[in-house]
Amino acid sequence: MVELLTNDNFEQATSEGVVLIDMFASWCGPCKMVAPLLDELSNEIKYAKIVKVDVDASPELGAQFQVRSIPTFILMKDGEMIEKIVGANMTKEFYSKLIESAK
């Protein structure tokens, strides 16, 4: 299951290793469509974390990463953003390759 991050646990959860962050909102259709793919990947990929941030519940985090459209995916390594992708891609392979690029 993909962990939901908030302002309180964000820094600790993203400070080490490879982390893919799904910036989403509960009302977003494309966000809901990609969620099952991310859940599958979170169970399959053990060298990285896949997490979610509800931009409505944690607007400060959305602002920090200049999220203007959702879903937005932030790829981080050891607390540093290395890539930002706006929009949902509906293939598990896309997200798998994205995460692998940060190894």
Q: Where residue 89 falls among pLDDT bands split at 50, 70, 90? A: confident
List residues with catalytic annotation: 28, 31
pLDDT exceeds cutoff 90 at 90:
no
Please check the confidence at residue 1 and state whether its pLDDT lies above 80: no
Q: How far apart are CA 5 and CA 54, in angstroms?
A: 8
Tally of domains within the chain: 1
Residue 43 has pLDDT above 90, yes or no: yes
Average pLDDT, the chain: 95
pLDDT score at 103: 87
Range of the domain at 40: 3-100
* Residue 69: CATH number of its domain: 3.40.30.10
pTM, two decimal places: 0.95
Both tokens assigned to 103: 């190894």
Token pair listed for 10: 């964000």
